Amino acid sequence: MVLPADMNPIEAEEVAQCYLEADTDTLIVTRLELSKRCGVPLRAAYQGLKLTLVSKSPELVEGLQCATPEIMLEKMLAACEISL
């Protein structure tokens, strides 16, 4: 399942539920560089999807990275204007 990070988090939750009903359990988040917060990946993961890859670049193929706790923490801290 692929979701853009700048999607409405409530809509992302609804879409995640639909994908889970279709036996899809992995999540790729794109457009992370455009989103100020990480509500979409967190809402989708809360529904039971496994966050596997994120794209922090407009170049999807070259920008894919394994989703790690560090990447998500970096994004959350950046939203609060805190750097590591």
The per-residue pLDDT for range 9-37, each reduced to its tens digit, is 888 889 889 989 999 888 888 888 888 77
Q: Kindly state the average pLDDT of the residues 62-82.
A: 80
* 2-4 sheet: strands from edge to edge: 2-4, 26-30, 50-55, 64-66
The per-residue pLDDT for range 48-65, each reduced to its tens digit, is 888 888 887 777 667 788
Q: Please indicate, yes or no, if residue 84 is contained in any of the structural domains.
A: no
Q: Which domain holds residue 25?
A: 2-79
- CA 47, CA 68: separation in Å to the nearest integer? 18
Q: Please indicate, yes or no, if residue 11 is contained in any of the structural domains.
A: yes
Look at the chain and report how many structural domains it folds into: 1
For residue 58, the SS3 value is coil
- CA 66, CA 75: separation in Å to the nearest integer? 14
Q: Please indicate, yes or no, if residue 27 is contained in any of the structural domains.
A: yes
Q: Are strands 64-66 and 26-30 parallel, antiparallel or unpaired?
A: unpaired
Q: Are strands 26-30 and 2-4 parallel, antiparallel or unpaired?
A: parallel
Torsion angles phi and psi, residue 21, rounded to 5 = -65, -25
Q: Please indicate, yes or no, if residue 44 is contained in any of the structural domains.
A: yes
